[in-house]
Homo-oligomer: A and B are copies of this chain.
Amino acid sequence: MTDQVRVGEVTRPRRAGVPEATVARLPVYLRALHALAEGGATTVSSEALAQLVGGGSAKVRKDLSHLGSYGTRGVGYQVEELVFHISRELGLTQGWAVVLVGVGNLGHALAGYGGFTSRGFRIAALLDSDPGRVGELIAGQRVRPVSDLDDVVRETGVSIGVIATPGASAQDVCDRLVLAGVTSILNFAPVVLQVPDGVDVRKVDLSVELQILSFHQNRRVLSAGLVPEQGVSA
């Protein structure tokens, strides 16, 4: 936090090198802070915040220190101030336009999910390749055909695409998104997408977490000694 970086005409505290691990936790802090603010809290200590998100206070402090020095010794952090700085760091003040492709069960859930709009994302369009779905009204939006993608991107300045199609069509949709100029993609389809350099893909896999849970559950059962042996032995 000591050195400075020139951005345009102004210098401001360097926040360029925020570690990935920290970035991944900022949304979690943000949610906790919103909850605190709703509850009427004005300040919060690293210890209290750590309690809320499940972690150590030192980690919280180090994370927040990457955004700048916004705490007060002996007191803690101002909730509203932290919300502002984290939101800005995450780019949530930009009001990104998002296009959602695929309005099956999951797409429906995503279109109606408050967590997107409440964090500054604007769903610019809902697309689906199934002609039977086109025209359907979901969360106040009319579903449009995937062929409208180029128009949508041009009209609304979409920079983030969300893929909630079946696995089979995900790569095709992805290619179209990239071709249309979308550089950030959130993929809910159960496939690993291939994209050119310069495009950022993140994947949310509903079953991966369940499998990780299974691993731990399995270990717990095994170490509890209840299951003598399973499958192949050495």
Contacts and interface: CB of A to CB of B under 8 A. Distances in A.
Interface residues of A, number: 90
A230 to B, nearest CB: 7
A154 interface: no
Contacts of A18: 215
A40 to B, nearest CB: 17
Nearest to A104: B109
Contact of A91 (B93, B183, B218): B218
A211 B26 contact: yes
Interface string A202-220: 1111111111111111111
A5 interface: yes
A222 interface: yes
A27 B28 CA distance: 24
Which applies to chain A's interface (DSSP): helix, strand, loop or mixed? Answer: mixed
A11 B217 contact: no
Interface of A: 4-14, 16-18, 23-24, 26-28, 30-32, 35, 52-54, 88-94, 96, 98, 104-106, 108-110, 112-113, 115-116, 119, 121, 159-160, 162, 183-186, 190-192, 200, 202-223, 225-234
Question: What are the nearest 4 A-B pairs in CB distance?
Answer: A91-B218, A5-B231, A115-B207, A105-B109
14 contacts: A9-B228, A9-B229, A26-B215, A27-B212, A28-B192, A28-B208, A53-B192, A88-B230, A91-B217, A94-B214, A119-B210, A160-B213, A162-B210, A200-B213
